[in-house]
Structure formats: C-alpha cells, structure tokens
Amino acid sequence: MSQVVVPDIGDFEDVEVIEVLVKPGDSVSKEQSLITLESDKATMEIPSPAAGVVKELKIKTGDKVSKGSPILELEAKDDAPKPQPAKAPAPEKPPAQPEKPPAGGEAQTIPVPDIGDFKEVEVIELLVKPGDAVTKEQSLVTLESDKATMEIPSPAAGVVKELKLKVGDRVSKGSPILLLEPGGEAAEKPVEKPAPQAAPKAAAKPAPAPAPAPARAEPHAQSGAKPHASPSVRKFARELGVALERVQGSGPKGRILHSDVQAFVKGALETGAPPATAKGGGLPFDLPAWPDVDFAKFGPIEKKPLSRIQKLSGPYLHRNWISIPHITQFDEADITDLEAFRKAQGAETEKRGFKLTMLAFMIKACVTALRQFPQFNASLEPGGASVIFKKYYHIGVAVDTPGGLVVPVVRDADRKGVFDLAQELAGISKLARDGKLKAADLQGGTFSISSLGGIGGTAFTPIINAPEVAILGVSRAVIRPVWNGHEFMPRLMLPLSLSYDHRVIDGATAARFTTYLVSVLSDIRKSLL
C-alpha cells in the first residue's frame, strides 16, 4: 500500500481539484489520469505513478492542493514498481522573462514560451488573425497535449502582421507563433476575457505563460463562449464527433465532464430528432462547410441539373442516413432449387402476359420472415419512446427509372400469391418508368426491398426508407462451389444485405432474421407454414 501525492507542479499552490477521475475499487494503469486540477492559467491531469487498485481517496472535488498533498491510497500490483511521486505532465516552469518589444515600429516574432517538458504539442485553435489588434496577456493560440490545455498569451500589445502556424501544427518551446507589430492603440484596448481568479506566482510575471481556456459559466450557445473541459474530455468528445460548444457542463464553474458528453450523446440518440438549432442537417454537432471548388480551372466540365426525383428524394435520403444509426447484416441464400422452380413456371406466367421474377419470391419470403420477427415490420415513434408494430404487410420495392429511384408499395403482400405479386410488380414497374405513379402508390410501406441483381454487384448498404426500420438489399446471384458435408457442389448463391435501425433492432435479432430468411429462400415451401 502506498500513498500517491500531488507531484511537483512548479510554482502553483492551492490549485483547485475540479474533477476526480477514479473511485475506490478502480484498477488503474501507470500514467492513467487520477484527478484534474485547474488554476487560472493551466488545466492539469495528474497521472498515476504506478499500476494498482485505488483503496481510498484523500481528496474530493473543490479541494485546494499543492505539491505533496495526498491524492489517494494505491495498492500496487505485484509486478508494478513502488510508486514514486511523478513529475507533473503540465506546464510547470515559469517562463523566462520575455524581451521587451522594439521601441519603434519594427515587427517582432512571438515564439512559444517555456512550456515545461512538453514537446511537439498540437495547435488546436488560433485565437487571432492578421490585422487583429491584441493587448498584453491576450491569448494568441491554444495548445493541447494529452495531459494539459494551454493558451499562449501575447507578451506585448500590438497588431498581428503574419501568422507563422496553423491549426494542427505541432510546436515546442521557441517555435514561432506570429509577427507582432507594436501599436499604441492596441495597448489601450480592454482585454475581452473574464476576470481571472487569484493567479499563482507565475502569473504575476509579465511573461508568456501557458494558459487554458477561461472558465465561463454562461451557456456554450452564446457567441464566443469556449467549452470548459479537460484534455481527456476534449479527446473523448472528438472521438464521438461531439462539438463541446453544444454540451452543458455540470462540473464546477460549468465545466464539462465525461458524464456530460455521455449524457448529451445518449439524449441525442434517444430523441431521434436533433434540436432545431443544430447545424449540419440536424446533427447535434457541426459539420464542416461543403467545399466550394471551381472545377473549371482544372479542365473542361459540363453542368446538368438533377432530375425532379433526385431533387425530391435527395434531402430525405440525407436525413435518413444521418439521423438513423444504420447497421448492415450480410448473408447469402442458396436459391438453386428456387431458381429451378421459377424457370419451370415461366411458360405458365408468359401465357398470362407477365414474367415470374425472383423479386416476387423475395417479397413472399420477406413477409414470412416479418411475421416471425415483427420488430422489422415496425416504426419508431417520433419521440423515440415507443415502437409501433404494424399488423399489415405493405412491401416497398425500389424501381430504377430514367428520372431516378422510386419506391412504389405492394399492399397486403401477405394476402397475395407469387403469381399475383409478379403480375402486380410488372404493372407498378411500368407505371414508375412512365412517371405515372400516384402519391398513394408510394405511401404506407412497412418494409422495403432494393434489388440490384439484374445489374450486378456482390453487396451494398441500402439506406433505410424512414419511417421504416429496415430494408433488404439483393445483389446478383452467382454459382459457387458449396461443401455439403461430403463434396463440393455447384450452388446458386444470392447475396443479401439487410440494413436496420440499431435503435429498434439489435445485431443478434438481425442475424436471426437473415438466417431465417435464408432458410425460407432455400425452401420456399416454408412460406406456406
């Protein structure tokens, strides 16, 4: 058993504990963050000096600590070395006194000051641009390592002439930040930052010191407000694609915690519909702007307008893709016997004036599977609190037309035989290609099928046709050697791709659905059961 203490954190004293990242009973690895400290100039995560199990916490959120303050009791693992106080992974050295700017109008290069042992730290934000007037101590850039977030202040007032770095660059002590031209007006400009708390000793020096984002209690939705979060929380949010500006912090001074990011994502998934104020097509975070490129400067181009169907369906496809968590289950069915039966019935259907296609059998097989797995014949309530199970079976069928893709609906497919379905498919396909479908022909579907078997391909991911929760993609069947337990036999295998809404259907259920569907297609007599 050993006691883990706050290591050397430079001249910082009485630094507030803003987040405790472990609890008694937790197993921690070496260098895993234990607590987060924050002064008015830096945010620091204190790592564990060894692997082990947390036996007792010695501090709580809101406590003030300094070098040597006890953090917790750690029971080290047998193979772990005896824990020793670790050097703080945070800006700890007070930077050297900067040179005073030239008395005249000559521009000076502002470098990255002494930031302790940190090297190759990433630039995550530029806070000024050429032409901006800055005041002394005004933040210029924000740097972030895996353990600390720092804002680099200006050592003097002036006007930014040129930036020497960009977001994503990695910098160390001495790396140039920008060219600053001294200016009298900038010195009189008030600093647009919240009043800092009582600063540690290093802050009293007019030196470029690492400084994190200022703590702001106001909601992040306000213009100019910066999210208040530790480096680990920022990394966590980036991995989930969440803009911290949209997350309301529950920690001290409005700080965003891991739990706040998790709650935000959970809420966005449960509601199903993001807030109306969200950007990026209704996402709970912002998307980068669409690139505006002049393609003509690279070579000859030709511009053609989208078809009417493409213009109408495009926004709906985009909405469905970004608002429904799509998962695709792939499988293949042995349709050797089914194809032989279809061809045998071809002469009979030709006498009646229509063609018996594999799609008619697919519809019949899907209805049989939907009866067995009713969650696929359902819709999620707009609020996301309930699932609506439908007692009717209207199957949408994607039809390729000269103007684009349309999905007419075959109603009451469960009450029709294969010949009836084939005849109806021939009729609605012709209406679709001729552009004569009515609005009612495209409504009320409970499950959709998109078949590209007549064109080609081995597999694809179809987009769910909301408010449905699943769609089946069918690719081209191919003859492959299949082992039957004794020998390889040539069998006609049909690739299937089932896209489903993961909010309603889990992976195990989807696998059972496709497995059952495959068994029905392998023996179509099961559709009669």
The residues that are catalytic are 502
Among residues 521, 397, 517, 508, which one has the least CA distance to residue 450?
Answer: 397
Calculate the alpha carbon distances from 294 to 305, 377, 456, 485 in Å: 17, 46, 34, 60
Calculate the alpha carbon distances from 519 to 5, 220, 343, 497, 529 in Å: 63, 54, 20, 15, 13
> How far is residue 49's CA from residue 5's CA, in Å, rounded to a whole number?
10
Among residues 329, 360, 335, 310, which one has the least CA distance to residue 462?
Answer: 329
The DSSP output letter for 467 is: T
> How far is residue 92's CA from residue 116's CA, in Å, rounded to a whole number?
6
Tokens 């290093």 sit at which residue?
202
Among residues 57, 58, 3, 44, which one has the least CA distance to residue 200?
Answer: 44
Q: What distance lies between CA 295 and its chain's CA centroid?
A: 30
On the 0-12 / 13-18 / 19+ scale of CB atoms within 10 A, 378 is: buried
* Residue 233 structure tokens: 């929380």
Cβ neighbour number for residue 400 with a 10 Å cutoff: 16
| Cis peptide bond upstream of 467, omega within 30 | yes
Tokens 């912090």 sit at which residue?
249
> How far is residue 359's CA from residue 421's CA, in Å, rounded to a whole number?
9
First to last CA, the chain: 67
> How far is residue 43's CA from residue 211's CA, in Å, rounded to a whole number?
8
> How far is residue 520's CA from residue 515's CA, in Å, rounded to a whole number?
9
> How far is residue 155's CA from residue 153's CA, in Å, rounded to a whole number?
6
Calculate the alpha carbon distances from 441 to 31, 265, 426, 449, 472 in Å: 62, 37, 14, 15, 20
> How far is residue 450's CA from residue 328's CA, in Å, rounded to a whole number?
14
Contacts (Cβ under 8 Å, ≥6 apart) of 315: none
> How far is residue 98's CA from residue 80's CA, in Å, rounded to a whole number?
43
